[in-house]
Amino acid sequence: MIAIGDSLPAVTLGEYNAVEGTCAIGPKQIKVAEEVADKTIVLFAVPGAFTPTCSAQHAPGFVQLADEFKAAGVDEIWCLSVNDAFVMGAWGKELGAAGKIRMIADGDAVFTKATGLELNMTGRGLGLRAARYSMLVKNGVVKELNLEVGGGFKVSDAATILAQVHASP
């Protein structure tokens, strides 16, 4: 499992942003190693877009505190889930995440598997998913990691990682 001090895996993910009144072409490929270079990123992962805790509690906290993250020196906030880019784009639109959070699709679970942060929900109709967590990443290196244990929602929230951002050198 990825740990503090490790680099993020050099994998390719997806992102889809539909712009009103235009013909959207996508999804766009996101090369993680290139996208995180020389940036401070807060990345949080959820087991699934449009799921109850993810939609009602986890993601909205990051939307609400997006300006505070920016003021604290965070270049980008990423929401990652093992969903396709179209689902992540639609969920981001519903959350009002445009300009605040990048909705990143790990459709094949390549990032999730490479980090060892998977949640096996086979038998419950959801298959392999990302565990619920948040992390602070500077220049591609993990500085903080808040992994939820047992399906809870206690340590990966926006306020917790924001406090860690403020405390980080």
Q: Cα separation of 15 and 27, whole Å?
A: 6
Of the candidates 36, 46, 54, 95, the residue annotated as catalytic is 54
Active site residue 79: no
Would you call the peptide bond into 52 cis, given omega within 30 degrees of 0 as the criterion?
A: no
Q: Cα separation of 131 and 52, whole Å?
A: 15
Would you call the peptide bond into 47 cis, given omega within 30 degrees of 0 as the criterion?
A: no
Q: Which structure tokens are listed for 32?
A: 């993680």
Q: Are 46 and 81 in contact (CB under 8 A)?
A: yes
Active-site positions read 54
